[in-house]
């Protein structure tokens, strides 16, 4: 999951623990839904392999240019099964997170180029001054996951209930119609469009 149970419970103003398993299931389901909507396997830092059709490669005698599906591209690890020893920003460049330009490389012998590369966000980088793990994942991805999971939670078993009050606690569920639901949908869609990928040929 991109968020975590503790943060999600704070988002919902929940302090009890008897629904932890259910809430975790909603977070996992929301993660899968976001991945599908954005045409990605995951936003976690990982090594990905992608076959690029030669017709999609812009090539000259000195360089070739490709677009990779997962972004931001951190490093190129292999090209056509051979380890890539070049240095980023010297032997190849990454522009707009996913457009990669290689210098002095040719793929004329292949109908495609198989690129193995590392992309997306590191979830546990030791970068702060105390060397504590810091999550590289953008907060808006965590927020989108919690927004979707919250909608699932609010609808679960309460399809016809808009709000309830128990003692000092009061929760109002999202309305399925009206201006408020339009605002929520627009906010979510705006966040989603930032990460949505077009479907690249493979």
Phi and psi dihedrals of 25, rounded to 5?
-60, -40
Crossing angle of the two packed helices 20-38 and 139-155, in degrees rounded to 10: 120
Residue 113: name the closest of 176, 65, 171, 61 by CA. 65
Alpha carbon of residue 142 to chain centroid: 9
Q: Indicate whether this model's pTM tops 0.85.
A: no
Collect all residues with Cβ–Cβ distance below 8 Å to 76 and sequence separation of at least 6: 84, 86, 88, 92, 100, 102, 115, 116, 117
pLDDT at 197: 66
Tokens of 76: 């190129």
pLDDT at 10: 93
Phi-psi category of residue 97: left, alpha or beta, with phi > 0 → left and psi -120 to 50 → alpha: left
Contact assessment for residue 41 and residue 81, using Cβ atoms and an 8 Å cutoff: no
pLDDT at 116: 93
pLDDT at 77: 92
pLDDT at 160: 46
Crossing angle of the two packed helices 139-155 and 179-195, in degrees rounded to 10: 140
For the chain, counts of helices (H) and of strands (E):
4, 12
pLDDT at 22: 94
Q: What is the dihedral of CA 186, 184, 190, 11, to 10 degrees?
A: 180
Please name the residue that has the structure tokens 């990982």: 46
pLDDT at 127: 56
Give, for all 202 residues of the chain, the pLDDT tens digit: 899 999 999 999 999 999 999 999 999 999 999 998 888 888 988 899 988 876 656 666 567 788 888 888 999 999 888 787 778 878 888 988 888 988 766 555 556 778 899 999 988 765 555 666 677 888 999 999 999 999 888 877 654 445 555 556 555 554 444 445 556 666 777 778 878 765 444 3
Contact assessment for residue 131 and residue 125, using Cβ atoms and an 8 Å cutoff: no
Domain limits of the chain?
5-41+137-195, 46-119
């Amino acid at each position: 999951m991109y968020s975590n149970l503790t943060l999600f419970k704070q988002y919902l103003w929940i302090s009890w623990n008897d629904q932890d398993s259910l809430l975790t299931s909603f977070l996992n389901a929301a993660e899968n839904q976001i991945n599908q909507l954005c045409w990605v396997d995951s936003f976690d830092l990982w090594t990905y392999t992608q076959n690029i059709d030669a017709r999609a490669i812009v090539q000259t005698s000195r360089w070739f240019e490709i677009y990779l599906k997962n972004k931001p591209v951190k490093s190129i690890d292999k090209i056509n099964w051979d380890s890539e020893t070049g240095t980023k920003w010297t032997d190849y460049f990454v522009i707009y997170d996913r457009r990669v330009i290689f210098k002095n490389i040719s793929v004329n012998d292949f109908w495609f180029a198989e690129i193995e590369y590392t992309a997306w966000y590191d979830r546990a980088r030791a970068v702060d001054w105390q060397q504590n793990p810091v999550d590289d994942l953008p907060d808006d991805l965590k927020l989108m996951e919690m927004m979707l999971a919250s909608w699932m939670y609010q609808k679960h078993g309460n399809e016809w209930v808009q709000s309830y009050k128990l003692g000092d606690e009061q929760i109002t569920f999202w309305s399925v119609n009206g201006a408020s639901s339009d605002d929520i949908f627009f906010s979510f869609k705006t966040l989603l469009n930032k990460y949505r990928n077009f479907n690249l040929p493979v």
